[in-house]
Structure 1
Amino acid sequence: MPVPVGVLRLPRGPDGCSRGFSPTSPRFQALLGGSAVAQGVRAALRQRYLRGLAAARGRPARFCLRAGVRVDAVFGAADVEAVAFQVDALRTPLGVQAAALLRCTDVLAFSFLLN
């Protein structure tokens, strides 16, 4: 037996027959993402961020977590949505973990250590 799936209907537009936002509304304009110049700036910043993460792979780092906990690890990677950092050789007050994921919501700051 098929499982019923709910249908989401957008509110009727200002003309009464279309569904969605009016092209002149601020919400519609925000969904478009603004001007091409702003999109270019965001793309450049994103590229710099990703190149910085790529250059940081394998470098020792210190993470300051909530509740004042400081841990040292070798930086591995960050996921696309910046939800978690993957680290190796995580040194915590309880011992060393070979590999771990640190949630970005728990990380207050991090810095790279000199070799």
Structure 2
Amino acid sequence: MKTPVSVLRLPRGPDPNSRGFDPNSARFLALCPTTVSASSAADAHGVALRDEQRARSLLRERFLRSLLAMCGRPVRFSMYEKVQVEAKFGASDIDVLNFQVSDLQTPIGVQKEALLRCPDIITYNFEI
């Protein structure tokens, strides 16, 4: 069964070598706004924030597992301008900005090896 999977973008950390985010930084607040309203009580806010972080963590884990499941499999990519391409998925870079694929079948021909920029991809799907 083919299920489209959208590409998830997470904000970059405060510096290139960062492993986490400072939740009090202006960059974090601007790029990763919480859905929790500022008017809620401190305890309710903490619980809601924890629930939201748990949900985000779960979504991130599912996305990473989908990348692992795609390795070596044929994947169909839907891109802008109604372009559909198929390729054998190889890998993703650490920032998930590019996908490395093999035997990329495009409307104008086949490319043996290629990098697909993730901002150009709308959805992708593959057989499980």
The interval holding the TM-score normalised by the smaller chain is 0.5 to 0.7
Unaligned runs of 5+ in 2: 1-23, 35-48
Q: How much does 1:96 deviate?
A: 1.6
Aligned with 2:55 (options 41, 47, 50)? 41
- Contact residue 33 and residue 39 of structure 1 kept, 8 A: no
Structure ID, larger Rg: 1
* Matching residue of 2:104: 90
**Tell me, which stretches of 5 or more residues in structure 1 are unaligned?**
1-22
- Which position in structure 2 is the counterpart of 1:9? none
Residue in 1 that maps onto 2:119? 105
Deviation at 1:74, TM superposition (A): 0.6
Using structure 1 for the length normalisation, give the TM-score: 0.61
Question: What value does the CA root-mean-square deviation take over the aligned residues?
Answer: 2.9
Asked if 1:81 corresponds to 2:74, the answer is no
Aligned residue in 2 for 1:57: 71
1:105 Cα offset (Å): 1.7
Q: 1:70 aligns with which of 69, 81, 84?
A: 84
Provide closer, same or farther for how the CA distance between residues 43 and 101 of structure 1 changes in structure 2, counting only shifts above 3 A.
same
Letter in structure 1 aligned against 2:93: D
**Cα 1:40–1:63 shift into 2, 3 Å:** same
Question: TM-score normalized by structure 2?
Answer: 0.55
Please report how far the alpha carbon of residue 44 of structure 1 lies from its aligned counterpart in structure 2 after TM superposition. 2.1
Number of residue pairs the alignment of both structures matches: 89
The one-letter amino acid paired with 1:96 is V
C-alpha distance after superposition, 1:83-102 (max 9, x if no partner)? 22211111122322121111
Over 3 Å counting, the alpha-carbon distance change for 1:98 and 1:39 in structure 2 is same
Alignment-mate amino acid for residue 93 of structure 1: P
Q: Is the 8 A contact 1:62 1:113 kept in 2?
A: no
